[in-house]
Amino acid sequence: MPAIKYKVNLSDDERQILQAVVQKGKNAARSQTRARILLKAAEGSRDKDIIDALNVSPSMVAKTRQRCVEEGPESALKDHPRPGKAPKLSDKQAAHLIAVACSDAPDGHNHWTLRLLADKVVELNYVDSCSYETIRSF
């Protein structure tokens, strides 16, 4: 079996933090699994043993080890931000839009439609243009 490329070494404090993540059970399941991977890796377990014990993929073990060594154990527990376009509306603007949607519909309408709300977003100068699909995603 090839040598381990990224050897995980944890301080006592880091080990306690990871054990707390696993024991408290208040973190996301993915974070708990990564904490278990790091604890087993720090004990000297091979990747194959970790994969079998935790029923995870080889890439998850490898990536978790790598991120721990390169960025630290705290960073290894969290997901990196996903690529993609930023949302058109900020959280504050979306909250205001929800408040508008909960208010009375404009004259001549029984209720707010997605297209009416998209027009309202433009009218409020939140964005230059907005489709009803953008509104639907909120």
pLDDT tens readout for residues 100-121? 999 999 999 999 999 999 999 9
- Of 30, 50, 77, the position where a domain reaches its end is 77
Q: Same domain for 18 and 56?
A: yes
The Cα 49–Cα 20 span in angstroms is 22
Q: Same domain for 17 and 69?
A: yes
Q: Same domain for 72 and 106?
A: no
The boundaries of the domain holding residue 22 are 12-77
State the alpha helices, DSSP H only, in 1-138. 12-24, 29-42, 47-54, 58-71, 73-77, 91-102, 114-123, 132-136
- pLDDT of 35 reads 94
Q: Is residue 21 part of a domain?
A: yes
Q: Are 18 and 35 in contact (CB under 8 A)?
A: yes
Answer whether residue 68 shows pLDDT above 70: yes
Q: Same domain for 68 and 21?
A: yes
How many domains is the chain built from? 2
91-104: b (≥16 Cβ within 10 Å) or e: eebbebbeeebeee
